Amino acid sequence: MTELSDRRSFRPWPQTLRSRLFLIFLAGLVIANGLSFGVLFFERYVMVEAMLLTNLDKDVTTAIALLDRLPASERPGWVGQLDRRTYRYVLGPGLAGIPDVTGLGAEMADTIRKAVGDHFAITVQSIPEAAGQRLQAHLTLSDGAPLTIDIYPTTMPLARWLPYVLLTQLALLVLCCWFAVRLAIRPLVNLAEAANALDPDRTAARLSENGPREVAYAAIAFNAMRDRIAQYLQERMQILAAISHDLQTPITRMKLRAELAEDSPEKNKLLKDLTEIERLVHEGVAYARSAHGNDEKPSRLDIDSFIESLVYDYQDTGKAVELSGKVGVTVVTRPHALRRILTNLIDNALKFGGAAEVLIERTDSNSIAIEVLDRGPGIPAEHLEAVLQPFFRVENSRNRETGGTGLGLAIVQELSRAIGATLTLSNRDEGGLLVRISMP
């Protein structure tokens, strides 16, 4: 089982589309370039070999005929002028070798035999050497003088600049592949980033609709989708606002009629139900406004003074709210949204814990944290994320008897997103709930 998991964890194939396309394009271009180079090299080898054998045929015929007609005393002066890159002429018997001749040497031996023809008896032998191949053709001139043709069978060597050209081509292939993949993947990355940052509440730059036709079409479709989502959310808020406005009048009339009725248990129950309906309508509209349509403009404020003022307001009304910590900085945020967030959290702490403690601290040079702590029953660990959803209530602690509608924390979550803050909930070790707001 361990071996199977190790095999699954080993992934030689890249996980990003950019890397995969880069490797595919690069491998294809390198293979195609290698095949082209192989074909050209083979053609050059065949051409050079044919030229070598043709020149050998003519040179050997001419050289032997010349040396055979020259007096013995003049031959040493001419033999050096007849040398070539792959063979030379030696006046003498040469070296003893073996008759085994293969490869290009065999073709050169056959060429020499055909060039000499029946005029001279010739013997071609292979000379054993540590590196390369060496042949010697032995023959006797008309006056009985021995002549040896010393042969080094090699084709035209590669030019010294050729490896540098190949490395330059490879570098150009890598650069072109990287640029092509980047050009192809960048619109997809922009689309993914725009989709990830999609928030109809915020005024964000529209996705650029320039570029190739397919990219422009995808950007136009995405911008149209974002506009439709914003329009649907706006219509939802308008519908909730209209329902709330239309329900206010009949609810008020029903409460007035109930209050004019004679005192009875049914009257109290009816008034309680109407109050709960009215509160639920207000909370629903508040959640809709927090999730969309918040037009409050950010402004700079002293965060210490802002929170102190809020806590003193609670203390003036006799509420058990304490403040600790200072950061000594100003922040740019939406004051009314931040006040609503802290008010909801402090109200929850007072409602379920009887007291609230507000702590403000600086987490690093670019962010601060505001914590609201209580000594209440807390929230079960499995419900810490679910309580941020609208209309979710933990029955044991936050039920209708305590007046909860399940929208308080959902409103805090939406408002936190609107001001660019992060909301986290956790249970305290000594009991109670800790709500942390991290904001720039």
Statement: residue 368 has pLDDT above 80:
yes
How far apart are the C-alpha atoms of 111 and 322, rounded to whole Å? 108
Q: Helices (DSSP H) in 70-102: which residue ranges?
A: 75-79
Listed residues 266, 293, 320: the one ending a domain: 293
Statement: residue 362 has pLDDT above 70:
yes
- How far, in Å, are 98, 104, 142, 377 from residue 137 at the CA level? 11, 14, 16, 107
Tell me: do 145 and 239 sit in the same domain.
Answer: no
312's enclosing H/E stretch is helix 303-316
Tell me: do 287 and 213 sit in the same domain.
Answer: yes
Asked if residue 2 is part of any domain, the answer here is no
Tokens of 139: 């023959």
Asked if residue 264 is part of any domain, the answer here is yes
Tell me: do 424 and 353 sit in the same domain.
Answer: yes
Backbone angles phi, psi at 137, to 5 degrees: -105, 125
DSSP secondary structure letter of residue 157: P
Q: How many domains does the chain have?
A: 3
Tell me: do 251 and 322 sit in the same domain.
Answer: no
Asked if residue 172 is part of any domain, the answer here is no
* pLDDT for 131: 61
* pLDDT for 397: 45
CATH at 326: 3.30.565.10
* pLDDT for 293: 47
Categorize the per-residue pLDDT at 65 as very low, low, confident or very high, splitting at 50, 70 and 90.
confident
Q: Strands 367-373 and 356-364: what pairing?
A: antiparallel
90's enclosing H/E stretch is strand 87-91
Query: Over the chain, what is the mean pLDDT?
Result: 78
Task: State the residue range of the domain holding 240.
Answer: 197-293
SS3 state of residue 22? helix
Asked if residue 121 is part of any domain, the answer here is yes
* pLDDT for 200: 60
Asked if residue 161 is part of any domain, the answer here is no
Tokens of 291: 């999730």
Tell me: do 262 and 323 sit in the same domain.
Answer: no
CATH at 134: 3.30.450
Categorize the per-residue pLDDT at 406 as very low, low, confident or very high, splitting at 50, 70 and 90.
low
Count Cβ atoms below 10 Å from residue 202 Cβ, excluding itself: 11
Tell me: do 259 and 302 sit in the same domain.
Answer: no
DSSP secondary structure letter of residue 395: T
Tell me: do 241 and 332 sit in the same domain.
Answer: no
Tell me: do 223 and 341 sit in the same domain.
Answer: no
Asked if residue 288 is part of any domain, the answer here is yes
Statement: residue 331 has pLDDT above 80:
yes
How far apart are the C-alpha atoms of 290 and 226, rounded to whole Å? 19
Tell me: do 213 and 312 sit in the same domain.
Answer: no
Tell me: do 357 and 418 sit in the same domain.
Answer: yes
CATH at 252: 1.10.287.130
Statement: residue 168 has pLDDT above 70:
yes
Statement: residue 3 has pLDDT above 60:
no
Write the pLDDT tens digit of every residue in 291-328.
Answer: 554 566 788 888 888 888 888 888 888 888 888 888 88
- Give the mean pLDDT of 338-356: 85
Asked if residue 412 is part of any domain, the answer here is yes
Q: Helices (DSSP H) in 80-161: which residue ranges?
A: 103-116
Count Cβ atoms below 10 Å from residue 406 Cβ, excluding itself: 19
Tell me: do 289 and 299 sit in the same domain.
Answer: no
Query: Which range among 194-203, 204-213, 335-344 has the greatest average pLDDT?
Result: 335-344
| Short-list 251, 437, 271, CA closest to 338 | 437
* pLDDT for 49: 74
Asked if residue 265 is part of any domain, the answer here is yes
Listed residues 251, 273, 293: the one ending a domain: 293
Write the pLDDT tens digit of every residue in 133-160.
Answer: 778 888 888 888 888 888 877 766 666 7
Tell me: do 300 and 337 sit in the same domain.
Answer: yes
